[in-house]
């Protein structure tokens, strides 16, 4: 059990400037909204307004894969709902881990792994924290990570 349980509206902010540790920010919108449900037993379910992502295919060295006309091959990835867990790490601090399916034209091509560390303000019913998103495509190929901050407002208890 913990103070995190309940329904939260969470704002995701990914800086549009290229941060050395977060080159994946260029693939995602600067802002997104997440509706999250944290259960008392440590489960986490979420949905978001993340749009489809346009991603260039690259080889193992990060070079673009080209089509027969020497143009980069671009795919459009849809990221599904989140399923994961949360754990209490300290006084008013929590760690969140979730997974989302990544599909192209309805076919599963990989997973999106999301990790956050958050701090709660119980008086105001808010959370703040950091977030890292990592797309892992077939055979463990990881796209560059994206990272940013989250701010959440509790909507209700469950």
pLDDT in tens, 74-122: 888 888 899 999 999 999 999 999 999 999 888 998 899 999 999 999 8
* Alpha carbon distance 119, 92 (integer Å): 6
What is the tally of structural domains in the chain?
1
Q: Give the dihedral sign, CA 141/42/132/46.
A: positive
Q: Domain limits at 78?
A: 6-156
Of the candidates 158, 155, 135, the one whose C-alpha atom is nearest the C-alpha of residue 145 is 135
Residue 1 domain-assigned?
A: no
User: What is the three-class DSSP state of 16?
Assistant: coil
Please tell me the predicted confidence (pLDDT) of residue 21.
72
Residue 117 domain-assigned?
A: yes
Residue 135 domain-assigned?
A: yes
Residue 82 domain-assigned?
A: yes
The CATH number of whichever domain residue 148 belongs to comes to 2.40.160
Residue 12 domain-assigned?
A: yes
Residue 51 domain-assigned?
A: yes
Please tell me the predicted confidence (pLDDT) of residue 94.
95
Beta-strand pair 107-121/126-137 = antiparallel
Residue 127 domain-assigned?
A: yes
Please tell me the predicted confidence (pLDDT) of residue 119.
96
Residue 118 domain-assigned?
A: yes
């Amino acid at each position: 059990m913990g103070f995190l349980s309940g329904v939260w509206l969470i704002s995701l902010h990914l800086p549009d400037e290229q941060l050395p540790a977060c080159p994946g920010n260029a693939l995602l919108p600067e802002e997104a909204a997440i509706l999250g449900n944290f259960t008392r037993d440590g489960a986490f379910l979420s949905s978001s307004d993340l749009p489809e992502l346009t991603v260039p295919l690259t080889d193992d060295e990060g070079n673009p894969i080209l089509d027969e006309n020497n143009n980069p091959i671009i795919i459009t990835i849809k990221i599904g709902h989140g399923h994961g867990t949360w754990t209490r790490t300290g006084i008013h601090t929590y760690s969140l881990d979730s997974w989302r399916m990544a599909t192209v034209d309805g076919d599963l091509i990989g997973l999106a792994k999301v990790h956050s560390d958050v701090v709660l303000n119980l008086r105001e019913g808010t959370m703040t924290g950091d977030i890292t998103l990592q797309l892992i495509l077939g055979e463990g190929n990881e796209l560059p990570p994206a990272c940013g901050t989250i701010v959440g407002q509790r909507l209700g208890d469950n």
